[in-house]
Structure 1
């Protein structure tokens, strides 16, 4: 990891796949991320990429796994550096 990376802030954890395809693209180095807390507390999140907050919520609502987590707003948006890409098993 480059030494100029950081400081890092832990915002929470998502056990599952985020919404949007950007985080699966290994050429992406930065993205606007959206996240929101779930009914399990503020450190358990739904996370993903979308053009705006209403698009983010539509994607979360359309995802059966994320929808069951009881996410609630408001969602937070922040530009983030992407270190590596996710791999999705099909």
Structure 2
């Protein structure tokens, strides 16, 4: 996997050049998890690519790295 989404986009852009079709396959490991969110966004925005369910549902792909995620407090009903 490329070290940045910009590098990934550049590499993938080489697939199917000059009006030809092609397929690109990227192999990722847990060391690439910082890119999962951006990779998911790029794939979802593409008109020709699909985001595999493994990436779509991966916990590391749900939020941009470095953002603070707080769990929403569940409302409780109190019966008196």
Please state which structure has a larger fraction of its residues in strand.
Answer: 1
- Asked if Structure 1 and Structure 2 have the same fold, meaning a TM-score greater than 0.5 normalized by the shorter chain, the answer is no
Q: Computing the radius of gyration over CA atoms, which structure comes out larger, 1 or 2?
A: 2
Q: TM-score, normalised by structure 2?
A: 0.28
Please state which structure has a larger fraction of its residues in helix.
Answer: 2
Q: TM-score, normalised by structure 1?
A: 0.26
> Which protein has greater RCO, CA pairs closer than 8 Å, 6+ apart?
1
